[in-house]
């Protein structure tokens, strides 16, 4: 028990870091679902593209000698900005060519289109990186080496602090934008009733594109933060993480921005605490590799009693 108690602070920090990444990716899922009632499964690959773009920017800064001459936070901001712009543009492009033409078709058609886009992006990145560098596993340059000592046994790495601060800033900024800005209110109106919103002179096509732009941009930023934290990216890195982020969005209440944030953070904490405690609680019979089973079992139990998610609302079928 003493060993477990001593592990709690470090596991809590690790869980929060992972949870914030889940939360930012989950926001992209829940925003698109809120507007179109459609699960954009290609969002996990947009996250992957963002991870590659951010890593390539940092590798370029390193090869050009800039990485040692500029502050690490500035290098991170440059990588984030480029990744968000390219990922956001990619999200709008995908919506225009893969989703908009099938918007009035049954939702299963759009779902299949999303799966096709997902596989296309995986193979496209693998092809480009393979032709360019003859390798598609990239190691992200190390930006931060310091840490802040909290107690005798607890230290918080600088990169974790930056990741948390940036993630919180993005989530707060998105919440303020959706609730206070005119375009954010238009997004909420389109999410509530697209036809009525168009009768109120709201350009629904533009709002849908804006939703993909913001959601994909956040996904690209999450990919860059992930690459800085875990230092390795590959074309399949988005699949499992995307599934977990989608689960977090459902867990928090799909369509709810606060729900996506809460679901992501809780899933990250459950996963990390499961990895830390499973071996101790079972005397080594069940190891950390079963952390996903532990976390998802708890999520399923909660969803059995609250199927709409923690902050979701049960909505009746539209007639």
Long-range contacts, 135-139 (Cβ 8 Å, 24+): 136/234, 136/235, 137/232, 137/233, 137/234, 138/52, 138/55, 138/56, 138/59, 138/227, 138/232, 138/233, 138/234, 139/231, 139/232
Confidence of residue 318 (pLDDT cuts 50, 70, 90): very low
pTM: 0.90
Chain position carrying tokens 């940036």: 166
Lowest pLDDT segment from 53-57, 233-237, 311-315: 311-315
Distance CA 100, CA 255 (A): 20
Which is more confident, 45 or 311?
Answer: 45
Per CATH, which fold does 15-305 belong to?
Answer: ABC transporter involved in vitamin B12 uptake, BtuC (1.10.3470)
Distance CA 157, CA 154 (A): 10
Confidence of residue 315 (pLDDT cuts 50, 70, 90): low
Q: DSSP code of 71?
A: -
Beta pairing partners, 153 = none
Q: What Å distances lie between residue 175 and 1, 10, 169, 181, 275, CA to CA?
A: 40, 29, 10, 10, 31
260 closest CA partner among 21, 43, 17: 21
């Amino acid at each position: 028990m003493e060993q477990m108690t001593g592990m709690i602070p470090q596991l809590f920090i690790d869980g929060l870091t992972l949870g914030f990444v889940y939360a930012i990716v989950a926001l992209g899922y829940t925003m698109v679902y809120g507007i179109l009632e459609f699960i954009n499964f290609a969002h996990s690959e947009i996250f992957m593209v963002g991870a590659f773009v951010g890593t390539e920017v940092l590798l370029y800064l390193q090869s050009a000698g800039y990485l040692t001459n500029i502050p690490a936070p500035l290098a991170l901001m440059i990588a984030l900005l480029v990744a968000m712009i390219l990922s956001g543009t990619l999200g709008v492009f995908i919506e225009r060519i893969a989703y908009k033409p099938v918007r009035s078709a049954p939702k299963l058609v759009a779902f299949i289109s999303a799966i096709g886009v997902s596989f296309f992006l995986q193979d496209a990145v693998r092809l480009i990186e393979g032709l360019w560098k003859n390798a598609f596993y990239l190691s992200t340059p190390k930006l931060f080496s310091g840490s802040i000592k909290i107690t005798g046994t607890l230290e918080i790495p600088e990169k974790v602090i930056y990741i948390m601060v940036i993630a919180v800033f993005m989530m707060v900024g998105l919440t303020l934008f959706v609730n206070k800005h005119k375009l954010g209110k238009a997004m909420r109106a389109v999410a509530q009733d697209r036809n009525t919103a168009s009768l109120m002179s709201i350009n629904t096509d533009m709002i849908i594109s804006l939703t993909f732009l913001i959601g994909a941009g956040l996904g690209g930023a999450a990919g860059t933060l992930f690459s800085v934290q875990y230092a390795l990216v590959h074309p399949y890195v988005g699949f499992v993480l995307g599934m977990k982020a989608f689960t977090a969005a459902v867990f928090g209440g799909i369509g709810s921005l606060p729900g996506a944030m809460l679901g992501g953070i809780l899933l990250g904490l459950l996963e990390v605490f499961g990895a830390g405690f499973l071996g101790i609680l079972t005397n080594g019979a069940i190891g950390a590799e079963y952390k996903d089973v532990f976390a998802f079992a708890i999520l399923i139990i909660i969803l059995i009693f609250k199927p709409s998610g923690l902050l979701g609302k049960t909505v009746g079928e539209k007639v």
